[in-house]
């Protein structure tokens, strides 16, 4: 499919932002109209005396910051390009008591994944279901999120169940890589060589044998883990990094390079993010891929929506991510994305889809509802969905809720 | 109506006379090289689980990535991270201590305050505001914000570390920030029926958005001269956000009205007060008086919300 076909398929090509409630009819001046108008006029005239002023010259707005996203639109799509085999299809499995107080029922997780995969693919045979996405010859990367440590990271039990699925499809252990941007954070989340024998654990940022990010010559151990020869994500902003931060960013300047894990090492990627909030939205499939695969990301937080969505349009992600499996056995509804246990709860849920935009859209809707119920948010602010619209505009998936085929399953 | 006009005028006059409170200067004090406990200082059975880590300035991204943004808006300087473990009954308990050094005691209180809801369990910690739970505890002491995160821990485990760090911070000369003595937007919070342990100091745009999506728009200028304080009130927990402007943004009421119009329903304007409801039936009231604005919202009746709004914009 070419780009236009994908846009047509997802419906994003002709989509327009729904009109907000008419502002002219919203404020009713009814019986209190005259007094109300007078009161408001009074308030206006009074606060006008305060010499209304903007405090500083307007800061450069995210929309004004140029990126090289247009370059990637021209790159031909492949049969595996997002939104993948099932555009707009999202399977949500209520796992029941798969988790209680942080304890995972691995058998129930495995069952949830089997049910989710069957519903997503239409194949009840796990081997056939998984074989829709991988072949025994593929090097498969499993992208986890370990930044929340033991509190709120991808659960090892989820990855173990995925490994069972890959094994059923004939993928040998030697062809599997569990990876994240930060190798050193993986053990704390339970991803160790002891627990996953025969499976490679990889990262971009890393400490060397001296347990430091820098070698004796002052060079970053990770400097060759980013692919400076591949296409990179350009954004016209930068910030200076000190030595500590550079260890986590690998390079500074206006270019963010992709990890060699995605450009060279793996042929297929299974994305396994964990459900957390970031302000009034989610940090999930798209963010786990973009910020998890790039160097030099600190500066990108200033253009959060763009930088979450646009890098996923590069072929290293767009054409390799074949499946998204959301670990929402536990989720965090507030003060994310950093781990804050008081806002972590047993959500008992997993989500499945090849379309990361649709999955994030459903997750956004779900988490905003939770946040409103918990009283930490009052309404869904359209600006919090901007990253979804950007991703949809790149043809990476479907962001229109009414076009998403949500299938819900509750385990007994 | 005339009474309302007199009230508004009086409020404006008082607000005009009130100078913007200056941040308290940071006292010089001797600070130990590390505030983390050494192995010999640890509670019984606990041992270090690796060397301490240090992150400063924007290096915080290397530790908590996107979580750094809000800390930086509260003038984050550096953090020491200590990890500890304890084997008990075949399980390994973990504690991570984050000792954040913020710019001022106000900043430390601010970042502490926005991460509590109010109503959490507290300990007597020499006046340091704090809260604790089985898997997390936190407090503010001088310019320091302490965050304790546990895994497989009990309320007693986190409490032991909370007391330990409270003693260490006090011995290092840190004192609680007195909201009564320290100037700040919280001074304008009406005291009647306030839930004191819910008081928050709102400094930057992310904390403001965390209070309400209504405050997410850039025109509020949080981080560029605008600050706020918030608190919950009464048994229903209706929330008041009291906003203090360095300079009132142009056409503020119109802009707020537009935000109300976009996301809320049943909008009204009456006596300079904007009101509306959200889909869950929660009420919203907004008023501007001089350089101070008040936003009240929650699952409460309109009269209670309106009374709180009026109290918030009435000079004391």
pLDDT digits (tens, 9 = 90+) for A147-182: 999 889 999 999 999 999 999 999 999 999 999 999
- β partners of residue B268: A28, B275
Q: Is the predicted pLDDT of residue A31 greater than 70, yes or no?
A: no
Number of A:B CB contacts under 8 A?
200
Q: Are residues B138 and B198 in the same domain?
A: no
Element spanning A171, H or E: none
pLDDT in tens, A297-319: 999 999 999 999 999 999 999 99
What is the spatial distance between Cα B105 and Cα A342, in angstroms, rounded to a whole number?
Answer: 24
Residues of B in contact with A380 (CB under 8 A): 263
| Interface contact A42-B151, CB threshold 8 A | no
Beta strands A176-182 and A200-205 are parallel
Interface of B with A in 120-159 (CB under 8 A): 120, 133, 135-136, 149-152
Lowest mean pLDDT among A99-103, A125-129, A174-178, A278-282: A99-103
Lowest mean pLDDT among A54-58, A230-234, B31-35, B83-87: A54-58
Q: Are residues B143 and B230 in the same domain?
A: no
| Interface contact A52-B252, CB threshold 8 A | yes
| Interface contact A151-B291, CB threshold 8 A | no
pLDDT score recorded for residue A243: 87
Which of A29, A33, A35, A40 is the best substitution to test chain B (most B C-beta atoms within 10 A)?
Answer: A40
pLDDT in tens, B36-73: 999 999 999 999 998 999 999 888 988 888 889 999 99
Are residues A39 and B4 in contact, defined by beta-carbon separation less than 8 angstroms?
yes
pLDDT score recorded for residue A132: 98
Q: Are residues B234 and B166 in the same domain?
A: no
By Cβ distance, the residue of B115, B258, B282 closest to A335 is: B115
| Interface contact B115-A340, CB threshold 8 A | yes
Q: Are residues B160 and B282 in the same domain?
A: no
User: Measuring CA to CA, how many Å separate A307 from each of A160, A287, A385?
Assistant: 31, 8, 13
From B171, B204, B236, give the residue that closes a domain.
B171
By Cβ distance, the residue of B67, B252, B261 closest to A21 is: B261
pLDDT in tens, A341-351: 999 999 999 99
What is the spatial distance between Cα A317 and Cα A309, in angstroms, rounded to a whole number?
Answer: 11
pLDDT in tens, A188-227: 999 999 999 999 999 999 999 998 999 999 999 999 999 9
Instruction: Measure B115 CA to nearest chain A CA, in Å.
Output: 7
| Domain annotation covers residue B83 | yes
pLDDT in tens, B88-119: 988 899 999 999 999 999 999 999 999 998 99
Q: Are residues B120 and B217 in the same domain?
A: no
| Domain annotation covers residue B5 | no
| Domain annotation covers residue B8 | no
Q: Are residues B163 and B195 in the same domain?
A: no
Which of A20, A57, A302, A375 is the best substitution to test chain B (most B C-beta atoms within 10 A)?
Answer: A375
Q: Are residues B70 and B139 in the same domain?
A: yes
Residues of A in contact with B280 (CB under 8 A): 372, 378
Cis amide bond preceding A86, omega within 30: no
Which is more confidently placed, B122 or A63?
B122
| Interface contact A378-B282, CB threshold 8 A | yes
Q: Indicate the number of domains in chain B.
A: 2
Mean pLDDT value across chain A: 87
Q: Are residues B136 and B227 in the same domain?
A: no
Q: CATH no. for residue B247?
A: 3.40.1000
pLDDT score recorded for residue B180: 83
pLDDT score recorded for residue B90: 84
ipTM of the complex: 0.77
| Domain annotation covers residue B207 | yes
pLDDT score recorded for residue B221: 95
Interface of B with A in 13-52 (CB under 8 A): none
Low-confidence stretches of chain B (pLDDT beneath 50): 1-32
| Interface contact A50-B291, CB threshold 8 A | yes
Lowest mean pLDDT among A137-146, A363-372, B2-11: B2-11
Q: Are residues B147 and B194 in the same domain?
A: no
What is the spatial distance between Cα B224 and Cα B221, in angstroms, rounded to a whole number?
Answer: 5
Which burial class, exposed, middle or buried, applies to B56 when counting CB atoms under 10 A from its CB (0-12, 13-18, 19+)? middle
Q: CATH no. for residue B109?
A: 3.40.1000.70
Q: Which of A404, A400, A394 is nearest to A82 (CA)?
A: A394
Interface of B with A in 55-84 (CB under 8 A): 55-59, 61-69
By Cβ distance, the residue of A39, A247, A298 closest to B58 is: A298
Q: Is A375 left (phi over 0), alpha (psi -120 to 50) or beta?
A: left
pLDDT score recorded for residue A249: 94
SS3 A234: strand
User: Measuring CA to CA, how many Å separate A294 from each of A246, A301, A311?
Assistant: 13, 13, 8
pLDDT score recorded for residue A103: 78
pLDDT score recorded for residue B130: 96
Residues of A in contact with B212 (CB under 8 A): 378
What is the spatial distance between Cα B239 and Cα B299, in angstroms, rounded to a whole number?
Answer: 9
Q: Please report where in the chains the tokens 């020869």 appear, as a residue.
A: A229
Q: What is the largest CA-CA distance in chain B?
A: 73
Are residues B241 and B228 in contact, defined by beta-carbon separation less than 8 angstroms?
yes
Instruction: Measure B150 CA to nearest chain A CA, in Å.
Output: 8
By Cβ distance, the residue of A47, A147, A239 closest to B65 is: A147
| Domain annotation covers residue B177 | no
Q: Is the predicted pLDDT of residue A28 greater than 70, yes or no?
A: no
Q: Are residues B152 and B196 in the same domain?
A: no
Q: Are residues B159 and B241 in the same domain?
A: no
| Domain annotation covers residue B2 | no
Domain that holds residue B146: 41-171
pTM over 0.90: no
From B111, B137, B171, give the residue that closes a domain.
B171
Residue B97 at interface with chain A, using a CB cutoff of 8 Å: no
Q: Are residues B52 and B156 in the same domain?
A: yes
Residue B302 at interface with chain A, using a CB cutoff of 8 Å: no
From B141, B171, B201, give the residue that closes a domain.
B171
Residues of A in contact with B297 (CB under 8 A): 378
| Domain annotation covers residue B160 | yes
């Amino acid at each position: 499919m070419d780009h236009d076909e994908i846009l047509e398929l997802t419906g994003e090509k002709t989509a327009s932002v729904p009109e907000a409630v008419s502002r002219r009819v919203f404020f009713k001046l009814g019986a209190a109209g005259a007094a109300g108008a007078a009161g408001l006029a009074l308030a206006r005239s009074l606060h006008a005396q305060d010499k209304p002023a903007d405090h500083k010259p307007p800061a450069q707005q995210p929309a004004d910051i140029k990126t090289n996203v247009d370059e990637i639109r021209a790159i031909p799509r492949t049969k595996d390009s997002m939104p993948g085999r099932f555009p707009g299809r999202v399977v949500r499995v209520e796992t029941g008591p798969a988790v209680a107080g942080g304890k995972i029922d691995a058998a129930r997780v495995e069952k949830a994944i089997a049910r989710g995969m069957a519903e997503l693919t239409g194949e009840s045979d796990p081997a056939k279901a998984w074989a829709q996405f991988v072949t025994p010859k593929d090097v498969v990367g499993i992208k986890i999120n370990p930044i929340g440590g033991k509190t709120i990271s991808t659960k090892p039990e989820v990855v173990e169940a995925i490994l069972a699925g890959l094994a059923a499809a004939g993928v040998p252990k030697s062809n599997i890589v569990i990876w994240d941007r930060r190798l050193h954070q993986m053990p704390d989340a339970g991803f160790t060589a002891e627990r996953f024998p025969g499976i490679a654990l990889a990262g971009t940022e890393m400490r060397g044998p001296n347990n430091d990010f820098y070698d004796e010559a002052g060079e970053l151990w990770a400097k060759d883990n980013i692919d400076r020869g591949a296409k990179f994500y350009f954004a016209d902003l930068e910030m200076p990094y000190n030595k500590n931060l550079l260890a986590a960013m690998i390079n500074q300047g206006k270019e963010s390079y992709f990890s060699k894990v995605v450009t060279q090492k793996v042929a297929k990627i299974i994305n396994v993010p964990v459900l957390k909030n970031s302000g009034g939205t989610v940090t999930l499939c798209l963010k786990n891929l973009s910020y998890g695969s790039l160097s030099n990301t600190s500066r990108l937080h200033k253009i959060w929506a763009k930088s979450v969505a646009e890098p996923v349009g590069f072929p290293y992600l767009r054409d390799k991510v074949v499946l998204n499996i959301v670990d929402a056995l536990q989720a965090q509804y507030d003060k994310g994305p950093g781990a804050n246990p008081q806002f972590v709860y047993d959500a008992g849920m997993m989500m499945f889809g090849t379309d990361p935009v649709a999955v994030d859209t459903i997750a956004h809707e779900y988490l905003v509802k939770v946040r409103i119920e918990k009283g930490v948010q009052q309404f869904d602010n359209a600006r919090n969905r901007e990253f979804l619209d950007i991703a949809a505009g790149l043809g990476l998936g479907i962001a229109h809720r009414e076009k998403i085929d949500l299938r819900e399953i509750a385990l007994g | 109506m005339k009474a309302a006009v007199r009230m508004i005028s009086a409020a404006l006059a008082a607000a005009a006379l009130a100078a913007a409170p200056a941040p308290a200067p940071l006292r010089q004090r001797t600070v130990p090289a590390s505030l983390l406990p050494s192995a010999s200082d640890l509670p019984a059975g606990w041992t270090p689980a690796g060397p301490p880590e240090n992150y400063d300035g924007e290096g915080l991204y290397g530790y908590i990535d996107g979580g750094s943004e809000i800390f930086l808006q509260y003038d984050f300087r550096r953090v020491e991270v200590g990890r500890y473990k304890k084997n008990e009954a075949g399980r390994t308990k973990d504690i991570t201590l984050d000792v954040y050094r913020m710019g001022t005691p106000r900043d430390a209180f601010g970042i502490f305050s926005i991460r509590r809801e109010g109503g959490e369990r507290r300990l007597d910690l020499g006046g340091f505001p704090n809260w604790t739970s089985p898997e997390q505890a936190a407090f503010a002491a001088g310019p320091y914000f302490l965050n304790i995160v546990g895994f497989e821990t009990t309320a007693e485990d986190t409490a032991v570390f909370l007391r330990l760090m409270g003693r260490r911070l006090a011995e290092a000369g840190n004192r609680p920030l007195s909201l009564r003595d320290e100037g700040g937007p919280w001074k304008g919070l009406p005291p009647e029926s306030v839930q004191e342990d819910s008081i928050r100091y709102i400094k930057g745009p992310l904390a403001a958005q965390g209070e309400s999506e209504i405050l997410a728009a850039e025109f509020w200028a949080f981080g560029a001269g605008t600050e706020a304080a918030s608190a919950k009130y009464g048994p229903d927990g209706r929330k008041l956000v009291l906003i203090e402007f360095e300079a009132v943004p142009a056409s503020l009421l119109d802009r707020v009205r537009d935000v109300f119009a976009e996301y809320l329903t049943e909008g009204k304007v009456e006596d300079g007060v904007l009101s509306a409801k959200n889909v869950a039936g929660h009420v919203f009231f907004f008023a501007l008086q001089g350089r101070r604005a008040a936003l009240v919202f929650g699952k409460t009746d309109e009269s209670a919300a309106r009374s709180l709004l009026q109290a918030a914009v009435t000079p004391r």
